Amino acid sequence: MEIHNIKQRDGESTEEFVRRYKLECRDVKGAPECIKISGFMHGITNPKLIKQVHDNIPKSVDEMMRVTTEFLRGEVTASNRERKKSFPS
């Protein structure tokens, strides 16, 4: 139950939530991988990340974190591209 109570807070970025989730999850001893994955999927609020993780449910926490890290890098890249478009050369 503890793991499913770890939720992304209002105003908390996805990156901050991922860091906090990892820390708080470590404190829950003996939790199976599937519960950690389920808890993460239940706690995130980014709709695009939720869809990506639900469309291809990871088999391990490491895989879930890899997918999340790749997603976040893609978001940063897309954001940088948009920012460059809004500034004239």
Domain positions in the chain are 3-86
- Please report which residue ranges of the chain form alpha helices under DSSP H: 14-26, 33-43, 47-55, 61-86
How far apart CA 69 and CA 88 sit, in angstroms, is 31
- pTM for the complete prediction? 0.80
Q: Report the percent of the chain where pLDDT is more than 90.
A: 72
Regions of the chain with pLDDT less than 50: none
Residue 85: per-residue pLDDT: 64
pLDDT at 71: 92
